[in-house]
Amino acid sequence: MKPGRQRLDKWLWFARFARTRSLAARLVTDGYVRVNGKRVDASATAVALGDVVTVAAAHATVIARILDLGERRGPAPEAQQLYEVVGNAPE
């Protein structure tokens, strides 16, 4: 992967949008994730700083801008530093 980019499934897991990396990958392959407004179906899709990710998870739909890629899955306060919520889509 190019410097400054990260796999989407890995970022979703680091940012705690999914409990496991395999569940993060499944969110992507099942069509519940968009990057910059485009639906993606490959969990290996590369994301970078500034990309806008829309996640339609079971508990909520969240629109978030990537602020950091992260290097590990840390505690929730650390994970929240990886993104800023741009908005919540209506349910």
Residue-wise pLDDT for 25-72, tens only, equals 999 999 999 999 999 999 999 999 999 999 997 778 999 999 999 999
Rounded CA-CA distance 24/30 in Å is: 10
Q: Which domain holds residue 54?
A: 5-88
Average the pLDDT over 9-26 and give the result: 96
Predicted pLDDT of residue 60: 83
CATH number at residue 84: 3.10.290.10
Q: Which residue has the higher pLDDT, 91 or 8?
A: 8
Q: Which residue has the tokens 């899709």?
A: 45
Total domains present in the chain:
1
What's the length of the chain? 91
Band (pLDDT 50/70/90 cuts) for residue 89 is: low
Q: Which of 85, 71, 56, 21 is nearest to 8 (CA)?
A: 21
pTM here is: 0.91
Instruction: Please check whether residue 60 is in contact with residue 68, taking contact to mean a CB–CB distance below 8 angstroms.
Output: no
